[in-house]
């Protein structure tokens, strides 16, 4: 099968949850014998611009790639703001201009796709237009309830400029998101909870497709980075920033009273100035930023933690944690979207004392049900992607 994947940005390196979900699935498609064309937006300059070495890795996996840069101008901004109730900000950013669309259409037509795979609503306008012109089915991958997730990020943002940006991105999103879901030939939701949310609102053709763990595609790391208490996550999103703030300001001192030499390690990409300042204000905490591979840190941890209190979908970091044999302590949000039986594999607390005492307990005497974890790991394998493609490509699509 030939599959065109519409990704909001370059999904490599897979250094945050959304990227990891997309990139691992692309790798799974290829491993299953399918050809993939990637369509994506990218930052043309600055720290977020893709490096040539990263693009080489992407191009070694996909059969074809069409990438076009974000364009910014006063006229474009005014136009996008004026039309955001019809096409939300991030979706409008991903509409190619007429010349780009002609090139995109030509490239896609030459690829002769069997299926369009739309990751989130952001490429909705271009993908459904191409689908109509080329008679190709579109399936939708729901990462979040975006019209719920973005306002939550706005409320969690530390700086007023970030809060305003998240609020602007939320305008018109609910109506647009529903339209994408209803137009799709099938919807594969990352989260059991979100799937039930959409089902209750009449969205048809829904299926649960959990993210892949990284170990579905590779072996365990041969070398690890030892650590006491480890958090892994994107250090730029407001919900993660708030979670790390709680971990460092409130939970760390409590644990240090019992274990004075304990070290908390924060592993993640793109730390904000707030995070950097926070790390400098305390002792006993280390920052490992923009590492190429988080797996050695995960497998080297004595205790893994997820203090993030808000979000949507499934937090991919939780699945990667489940691949280890370390105790896992999380806020309730970390269990969202997972089947009930999986939630029993974590120790769950939303208040400081319970979270901190659980860390202390596990540092002193770890308790992990390895057999239960091994049973859960079977759900996050390449086989789930193969079954999804079977649904998307034929006879089972309307069940």
CATH number of residue 368's parent domain: 3.40.50.2000
Together in a domain, 188 and 257: no
Q: Is the residue at 326 inside a domain? A: yes
Together in a domain, 310 and 178: no
Together in a domain, 61 and 207: yes
Q: Is the residue at 230 inside a domain? A: yes
**Contact (Cβ atoms closer than 8 angstroms) between residue 111 and residue 37:** yes
What's the pLDDT at 71? 87
Of 285-289, 350-354, 374-378, where does mean pLDDT reach its minimum? 374-378
Q: Is the residue at 201 inside a domain? A: yes
**Contact (Cβ atoms closer than 8 angstroms) between residue 299 and residue 220:** yes
Together in a domain, 312 and 207: no
Q: How many residues does the chain have?
A: 399
Q: Is the residue at 288 inside a domain? A: yes
Together in a domain, 360 and 388: no
Q: pTM for this one?
A: 0.79
Together in a domain, 285 and 330: yes
CA distance 337 to 143: 11
What's the pLDDT at 152? 86
Number of domains in the chain: 2
State which residues form the domain around 71.
2-212+381-392
Does residue 373 have a pLDDT over 80? Answer: yes
CA distance 105 to 127: 10
Together in a domain, 100 and 13: yes
CA distance 393 to 189: 17
Together in a domain, 100 and 16: yes
Together in a domain, 173 and 232: no
Q: Is the residue at 399 inside a domain? A: no
CA distance 380 to 253: 36
CA distance 105 to 111: 10
**Contact (Cβ atoms closer than 8 angstroms) between residue 228 and residue 264:** yes
pLDDT in tens, 321-345: 999 999 999 999 999 888 888 888 9
Q: Is the residue at 32 inside a domain? A: yes
Parallel/antiparallel/unpaired status of strands 186-189 and 206-208 = parallel
CA distance 234 to 237: 6
CA distance 165 to 62: 33
What's the pLDDT at 397? 36
Cite the DSSP H helix spans in 32-123: 52-61, 74-82, 89-93, 98-111
Together in a domain, 39 and 182: yes
Together in a domain, 266 and 155: no
Q: Enter the tokens of residue 279.
A: 């790390």
Q: Is the residue at 320 inside a domain? A: yes
User: With bands split at pLDDT 50, 70 and 90, how would you rate the model's confidence at 395?
Assistant: very low
Percent of the chain with pLDDT over 90: 68
CA distance 255 to 304: 14
3-state secondary structure 271-305: CCHHHHHHHHCCCCEEEEECCCCCHHHHHHEEEEE
Of 132-146, 170-184, 346-360, 374-388, where does mean pLDDT reach its minimum? 374-388
**Contact (Cβ atoms closer than 8 angstroms) between residue 205 and residue 139:** no
Average per-residue pLDDT for the chain: 91
Residues paired with residue 283 on neighbouring β-strands, in sequence order: none
Q: Is the residue at 398 inside a domain? A: no
**Distances in whole angstroms, Cα of residue 369 to Cα of each of 60, 90, 333, 342, 365:** 39, 42, 21, 12, 13
What's the pLDDT at 285? 95
What's the pLDDT at 218? 87
Q: What is the mean pLDDT of residues 15-19?
A: 83
CA distance 200 to 213: 29
CA distance 183 to 334: 30
Of 14-23, 197-206, 228-237, where does mean pLDDT reach its minimum? 14-23
CA distance 90 to 60: 28
Does residue 313 have a pLDDT over 80? Answer: no
Does residue 187 have a pLDDT over 80? Answer: yes
CA distance 12 to 31: 17
pLDDT in tens, 25-42: 999 999 999 999 999 999
Backbone angles phi, psi at 128, to 5 degrees: -75, -30
Together in a domain, 143 and 33: yes
């Amino acid at each position: 099968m030939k599959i065109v994947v519409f990704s909001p940005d370059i999904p490599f390196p897979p250094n945050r949850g959304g990227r990891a979900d997309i990139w691992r699935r692309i790798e799974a498609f290829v491993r299953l014998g399918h050809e993939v064309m990637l369509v994506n937006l990218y930052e043309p300059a600055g720290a977020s611009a893709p490096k040539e070495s990263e693009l080489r890795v992407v191009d070694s996996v996909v059969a074809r790639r069409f990438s076009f840069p974000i364009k910014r101008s006063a006229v474009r901004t005014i136009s996008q703001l004026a039309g955001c109730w019809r096409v939300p900000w991030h979706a409008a950013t991903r509409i190619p201009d007429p010349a780009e669309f002609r090139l995109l259409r030509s490239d896609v037509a030459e690829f002769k796709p069997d299926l369009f795979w739309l990751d989130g609503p952001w490429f909705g306008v271009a993908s459904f237009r191409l689908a109509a012109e080329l008679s190709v089915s579109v399936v939708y991958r729901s990462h979040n309830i975006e019209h719920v997730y973005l306002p939550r990020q706005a409320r969690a943002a530390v700086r007023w400029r970030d809060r305003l940006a998240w609020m602007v991105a939320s305008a018109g999103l609910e109506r647009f998101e529903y339209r994408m879901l209803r137009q799709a030939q099938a919807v594969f939701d990352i989260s059991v909870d979100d799937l039930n949310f959409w089902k209750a609102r009449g969205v048809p053709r829904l299926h649960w497709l959990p993210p892949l763990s990284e170990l579905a595609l590779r072996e365990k790391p041969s070398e690890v980075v030892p650590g006491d208490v480890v958090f892994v996550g994107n250090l730029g999103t407001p919900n993660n920033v708030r979670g790390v703030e709680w971990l460092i300001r409130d939970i760390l001192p409590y644990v240090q009273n019992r274990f004075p030499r304990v070290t908390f390690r924060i592993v993640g990409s793109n730390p904000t100035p707030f995070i950097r300042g926070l790390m400098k204000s305390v002792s006993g905490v280390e920052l490992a930023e923009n590492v190429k591979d988080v797996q050695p840190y995960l497998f080297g941890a004595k205790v893994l933690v997820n203090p993030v209190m808000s979000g949507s979908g499934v937090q991919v970091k939780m699945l990667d944690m489940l691949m280890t044999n370390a105790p896992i302590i999380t806020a309730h949000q970390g269990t969202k979207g997972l089947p009930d039986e999986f939630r029993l594999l974590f120790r769950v607390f939303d208040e400081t004392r319970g979270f901190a005492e659980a860390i202390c307990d596990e540092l002193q005497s770890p308790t992990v049900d390895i057999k239960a974890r091994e049973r859960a790991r079977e759900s996050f394998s390449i086989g789930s992607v193969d079954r999804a493609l079977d649904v998307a490509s034929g006879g089972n699509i309307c069940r």
